[in-house]
A and B are shown apart, each in its own frame.
Chain A
């Protein structure tokens, strides 16, 4: 485990577990509210993939940036966006993080340097390259983390962005959340080379692969990636092998994978694995876990209350913010 300063292994492991549990309970509530008709549109749940966000994102500092995808509730939560502002956004309320203009797929937070919430697969990679370029040109010692799925690797922008960032030695970590499916198309049916991290070689870029169901492994691998970048060695591609337990969006017939396969992966539930490990190592008591769950349940309930109570954006403001300065 990577420990820093006075933070004990116990405290740090509780932090990682708390992140994962917050995401899990938040997503479970989101699914429930979707079924209740409170949340509409597309809703892409992160259940099963929690170890990636929980392990990787805490290694970013306040000045660092994140560019994310449409499956980003977990990223936003770990980054520090409040559950209430995210839930309100999914309700479409004016107190949502994007004032109800974005919804589930478009969470933004300027103060946290959280640049969305991009629902075009691979669309965020060039933007992350540009953010890193701006930092490099201005002498900011920052890292930009760009999260995307395995489907993005099919797109030209993945290759263009790896090439450009390696060419210019930009401080960006490309974190591929490889959940083995591009929507419903299995990895081996959409990639000729299924070892995604290996593609970095073609661009002279450092890379690694990590078990995305193991939060500690992700944490350590991300530490290596971030250290590499902070040492001025250029960009880094980290592939985390993970799995989504739920449908691509809220509902799909899941014709593309077997229930056996899903069950097999559920045996490797990142939260169960980590909880068991901590209990075996006497780093977590039942009482601590129960308290954590209770706190998270209260947080999620409060988030729902915030969303329920939130106002609707007045229709008169429909055209607001299309431009900063309307001509």
Chain B
């Protein structure tokens, strides 16, 4: 399963992070990060990646998202001066779930520093996968702490990524809803937040299927409300099709995955029934898209399983197989009685029927269909001499393959190097990186696992649905905008152009692919005709 390509992996860790303590009886234990780190060393994974000690994020960096007062408050509050801050503590929701503990601000600094440094690293293309298990604190709001989170390192990281990436996808597999991140990007179309979580009498209470974003960001928040007892199989059956569809329609330039381990079986706060393997499969699946990839931690309150899970997921990122037998380490006794890496699910009932999941999925597909294509894409004029061979090899497409080659190619092809690909009729979106010509295309690896195969059909079926749907909203302006395409740098015009192409090519039954540049040039060509 881990046969895919080796990546350059950067890992962020500060040896101090394990020694912060939220307080007696508090389920959040930063020490799990240290336990993971020690496991990584003894598994020999440590030596296979670049290890960085992150800087401490400055208040300046934090205020990129958080309000000044809130950061000032975090910086000044200490257990010994708490009484002076009673009012502010209430205002910023610091006290119960988010206690004031020794070194609180430093802890936030380290966690945020790691994610920001990782994002900058990805921006500089100095790494393909960055990991910060100390991050992932997805509940923190702009000026409010929530759910054990004070500073939202994810939002800070994504903001950094947005400087160089037109669209960033955020995926959240914590058992809790990623409300902090969703709220921060609720009204933008440049970040899509996808959260899989338990919904119903559960913290934080948000994440309804109907919450889909607002304003420009409408349809850019995707919530998958789940019930107790999700097992590996059910999780995969919803994760894979949704993420495939999201990748297809949103076409992110970078991905952030929050790997909250409280969705594992037996978690102190969670109520799902996933194993380490099932959890890791999500990482594996997202990794296959070969996009700049930031992995962060998150929840996880049965610390032995958290360190198991994150160790395994690091090995997935590195594409290294590790033994099920745990190596000896300082915390070996925690992993008794079996001392194995993998855990087995419990016999709890899965309250998510396949019927329920199917319905949710369909509703979300409907929403995703509403996405205008290629939000905010900046387009450059396409050179006339672009190779245009969209028509010749329709039959080469393997219908059983997950996404036809064409579909992958349409995402970008710098300099048209994949000249034998088919044109994609569906959307004239281009990846912003297309003209950068530096990054690999986000194609899936050929050796698609069974996960992908199972999802093939749904995704290709729905992608054809999408076509129909898309034609509806703007059929009229297809004609006039298409004339301007070649020179116009406007994305929507490009889309409608593609749609009109699509209409005229309606006999092309397979969702055809091709680089966006070829699509665009095709439009140009037709205009000439």
Tell me if chain B binds chain A: no
